[in-house]
């Protein structure tokens, strides 16, 4: 009887997925955007979908902090001032400190809580302190955004909690990142905090690049189901600073790796070093060497697959992710960046349903041991296996292909090659 190889199934599934990508621009593909700026010259070193509307998630809190720093400079706030927690603030959705109505929190503690824990209740406390109500504070936020040149940004709350009308662009977020560094350089060091302790609980900064990228010293992560994984990051080397924004990542880890690559490529570009065929700048379509088919992370992760029997698991399937987490597939600290206590899809209080996920439909399903033939039209209806493969052999496959961009013929040809690291 004819047997069916797991690797052959993967190739067939991804080829079917590629055809699906080329024929449409599904919702899951239109979240990615990125931009990298040389802050000394203002030169845009790299951009991809940088002017397309995106949801900011907790990058919103960078504007909230900008407003706090402005108020301190203007003498309206002191770091030692205590702000009262309202019932509205105490009822904020996670991520939060869990502040009780009627209690108080110092301004400096609030700053630290926003930078590290990304606490939504604290964002509302600040909004009510500076604006009287959060709605009035949002009006001030939007006025400041326009003043800073963020012409494609509309804020609807102070935290980044889901609101379909709260939109921005990667370019606008880069303007905000530059502004808070240039206008409040004396307080920028808050974004380098590794942790914050509140009520005897230590909250770690979710920006993993602070520990892994040379020169990285800020600034903010973000995640909701609608936005995907966002990151605003800055680094300085040899007196030169770059600001990198990525929005719409499918996992926190792939986002972190991609932004690290963007930063490293930026410094290569600034150094003027000649590019070779395997240069990082070429591989991620950077700067003047860039093209419309920049890195396809799904193909890249497929190429890293060493074990032909390894399971491919959709990074957007909460049920499978939860089971792998329970099985110990994720190391400690590898949860979503908005809650370090566990891997949570709803990490900033995003109660919206998970969007349709064609990748998950293709690769997160069972295949019979000896199917007669592969039919991509029936894969999505195949039941998920009752027993998961060992966590040690699971490879998380993600995709950040931008809307309207089809895989290149070269990429499709690579699918037919033996899988190797």
Whether residue 37 has pLDDT greater than 80:
yes
> What average pLDDT does the structure give for the chain?
74
Spatial CA neighbour of 160 closest among 89, 57, 231: 57
Catalytic residue ranges = 58, 61, 118
d(Cα 317, Cα 187) in Å, to the nearest integer? 39
Summarize pLDDT for 384-407 with one digit per residue, the tens. 334 434 433 333 333 333 444 444
% the chain with pLDDT above 90 = 56
Judgement on whether residues 129 and 253 belong to the same structural domain of the protein = yes
CA angle at residue 295 from 293 to 300, to 5 degrees?
130
Is 73 found in the same domain as 19? Answer: no
CA atoms 187, 188, 193, 197: torsion sign:
positive
Q: Using one digit for the tens of pLDDT, what is the confidence trace for 149-194?
A: 999 999 999 999 999 999 999 999 999 999 999 999 999 999 999 9
DSSP string, 62-82: HHHHHHHHHHHHTTS--TT-E
Instruction: Evaluate whether 296 touches 407 at the Cβ level (below 8 Å).
Output: yes
Predicted model pTM = 0.67
216 and 301 in a common domain: no
The CA-CA-CA angle for residues 160, 359, 10, to 5°, reads 150
CATH number at 86 reads 3.40.710.10
What is residue 15's predicted lDDT score, i.e. its pLDDT? 53
Of 289, 306, 332, at which residue does a domain stop? 289
By the 10 Å C-beta count (0-12 exposed, 13-18 middle, 19+ buried), 142 is classed as middle
> Is-contact 333 315, C-beta < 8 A?
no
Within a domain: 282:
yes
Owning domain of residue 381:
6-25+296-317+357-414
Q: Name the domain count of the chain.
A: 2
Task: Evaluate whether residue 21 is within a structural domain.
Answer: yes
In terms of domains, do 366 and 274 share one?
no
Q: What is the pLDDT of residue 5?
A: 55
């Amino acid at each position: 009887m004819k047997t069916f190889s797991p690797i052959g199934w993967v190739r067939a599934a991804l080829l079917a997925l590629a055809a699906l990508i080329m024929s449409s621009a599904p919702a899951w593909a239109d979240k990615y955007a990125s931009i990298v700026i040389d802050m000394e010259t203002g030169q845009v070193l790299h951009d991809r979908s940088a002017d397309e509307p995106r949801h900011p998630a907790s990058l919103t809190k960078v504007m909230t902090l900008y407003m706090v720093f402005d108020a301190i400079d203007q003498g309206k706030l002191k770091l030692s001032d205590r702000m009262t927690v309202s019932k509205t603030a105490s009822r904020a959705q996670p991520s939060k400190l869990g502040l009780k109505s009627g209690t108080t929190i110092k301004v400096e503690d609030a700053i630290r809580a926003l930078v590290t824990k990304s606490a939504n209740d604290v964002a509302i406390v600040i909004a009510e302190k500076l604006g009287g109500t959060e709605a009035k504070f949002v009006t001030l936020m939007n006025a400041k955004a326009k003043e800073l040149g963020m012409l494609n940004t509309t804020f609807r709350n102070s935290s980044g909690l889901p609101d379909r009308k709260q939109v921005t662009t990667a370019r606008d977020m880069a303007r905000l990142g530059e502004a808070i560094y240039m206008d409040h350089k004396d307080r920028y060091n808050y974004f380098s905090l590794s942790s914050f302790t509140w009520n005897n609980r230590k909250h770690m900064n979710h920006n993993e690049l602070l520990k892994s990228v040379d020169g990285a010293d800020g600034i903010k992560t973000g995640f909701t189901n609608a936005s995907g994984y966002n990151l605003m990051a800055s680094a300085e080397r040899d007196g030169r600073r770059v600001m990198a924004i990525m929005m719409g990542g499918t996992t926190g880890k792939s986002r972190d790796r991609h932004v690290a690559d963007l930063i490293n490529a930026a410094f290569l570009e600034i150094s003027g070093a000649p590019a070779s065929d395997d240069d990082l700048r070429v591989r991620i379509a950077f700067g003047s060497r860039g093209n419309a088919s920049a890195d396809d992370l799904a193909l890249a992760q497929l190429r890293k697959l060493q074990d032909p029997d390894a399971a491919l698991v959709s990074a957007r399937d909460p049920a499978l992710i939860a089971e792998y987490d329970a099985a110990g597939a994720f190391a400690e600290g590898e949860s979503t960046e908005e809650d370090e206590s566990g891997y949570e899809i709803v990490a900033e209080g995003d109660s919206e349903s998970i969007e349709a996920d064609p990748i998950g439909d293709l690769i997160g399903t069972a295949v019979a041991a000896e199917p007669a033939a592969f039919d991509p039209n029936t894969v999505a209806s195949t039941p998920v296996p009752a027993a998961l493969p060992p966590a040690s052999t699971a490879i998380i496959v993600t995709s950040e292909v931008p809307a309207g961009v089809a895989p290149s013929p070269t990429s499709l040809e690579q699918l037919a090659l033996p899988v190797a690291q």
